[in-house]
Amino acid sequence: MPDTRRSWKEVRDRIHQKILSGQVRPGDKLPRDADIAAEMNCARTTVQRAMQDLADSGLVERRRKGGTHVRRDPVTRATLDIPITRNEVEQKGNTYGYQLIGRETLAPPHSVQAAFGQNLPGPMLHVQALHLADARPYILEDRWICLQTAPEILDVDLSETSANEWLVMNKPYDDLTLRFYAEKADEKRATLLGTDPGDALLVIERTTWISGAPITTVKSSTEPGYQLISRS
């Protein structure tokens, strides 16, 4: 008989790890709940509870008679959803553009280690990029990516695919911190965002983890007049 002592959280975490590792990809159909229960030696109700939590987290989509699929455009939920910037621009009716400013692998500075709340062994990937709307600066992104949790990012052509989009699609998280604040544009950011030094910018800082391990921390400086809209 199934071992009903296995918790739904353990089942959820095992399925989550399969999504995180790429064993199942965005758009893939997952096995039936009964088949997962048999594979993991647990009750079907345990699988149903685990799947509901994954659906509530925006990682999978369950349809009556249609089965369960990994979302093609996963929504990693926190106080606010982390958007794919390309989608955000296009949903406003604008044409999306993207420019990679720089990428390099190096030891993270103390400020990045402080964001993760731990000393990080080894180098990280530092990515700077500019997102555009109708060929105008939209968001300037300064990002650090942990190569222990996201080593695959080194094989991604970041001149074509933004780190923002790749991470949302491939690296679900289970913990996030989010900060908003205003900051005056320095000369470099003013030049890249097409504004004047000293203009007020909305800055959004996000840091994510999976099972306690850091994934990425990013500082996004937005164009003057940028508006953030949240829908519940």
CATH code for the domain of 40:
1.10.10.10
Q: Is residue 232 part of a domain?
A: no
pLDDT digits (tens, 9 = 90+) for 51-92: 988 887 778 888 877 889 988 766 554 434 577 899 889 988
Residue 178: Cβ within 10 Å count: 13
How far from chain centre, in Å, is Cα 28? 19
- Say yes or no: 94 and 172 in one domain: yes
CA atoms within 13 A on the CB side of 110: 0
Partnered with residue 179 across adjacent β-strands are 205
Average pLDDT value for the chain: 86
CA 157 to chain centre: 17
Give residue 22's pLDDT.
73
Whether 98 and 62 map to the same domain: the answer is: no
User: Could you tell me if residue 61 is inside a domain?
Assistant: yes
Read off the pLDDT of residues 21-57 as tens digits, 9 standing for 90 and up: 678 888 899 999 999 999 998 988 999 988 988 887 7
Listed residue (4, 46, 2, 1) closest to 15, CA to CA:
46
CA distance 154 to 138: 25
Q: How far lies 95's CA from each of 15, 91, 137, 160, in Å?
A: 36, 9, 12, 16
**Residue 12, domain member (yes or no):** yes
Residues 173 and 212 in one domain: yes
3, part of any domain: no
* Number of structural domains in the chain: 2
- Segment 109-115 mean pLDDT: 91
Of the three residues 38, 70, 102, the one that is the final residue of a domain is: 70
Of 75 and 102, more confident = 102
Mean pLDDT along residues 193-222: 92
Domain encompassing residue 56: 8-70
CA 90 vs CA 118, 144, 227: distances in Å: 37, 26, 15
By C-alpha distance, which of 15, 7, 13 is closest to 31?
15
* 97 and 183 co-located in one domain: yes
- CATH code, domain with 133: 3.40.1410.10
Predicted confidence at residue 229, as pLDDT, reads 55
> Model confidence at 98, in pLDDT bands (50, 70, 90)?
very high
Who wins on pLDDT, 218 or 67? Answer: 218
Residues 217 and 125 in one domain: yes
pLDDT, position 10: 84
Q: What is the pLDDT of residues 114-168, one digit of tens each?
A: 998 888 878 999 999 999 999 999 999 999 999 999 999 999 999 999 999 999 8
The answer to whether residue 59 sits within a structural domain is yes
Helices marked H in 57-196: 85-91, 110-116, 163-170, 187-193
Quick one: 151 and 109 in the same domain? yes
Same domain, 123 and 180: yes
Query: Which residues sit opposite 12 in a β-bridge?
Result: none
pLDDT for res 221 = 95
Closest CA to 180 of 201, 157, 208, 152: 201
Together in a domain, 106 and 180: yes
One domain, residues 190 and 96: yes
Is 76 in contact with 57 (CB distance < 8 Å)? Answer: yes
Neighbours of 145 (CB within 10 A): 26
**pLDDT at residue number 125:** 97
**Does 165 lie in the same domain as 105?**
yes
Instruction: Note whether 122 and 192 are same-domain residues.
Output: yes
Task: Determine, yes or no, domain membership for 230.
Answer: no
Average pLDDT over residues 207-220: 91
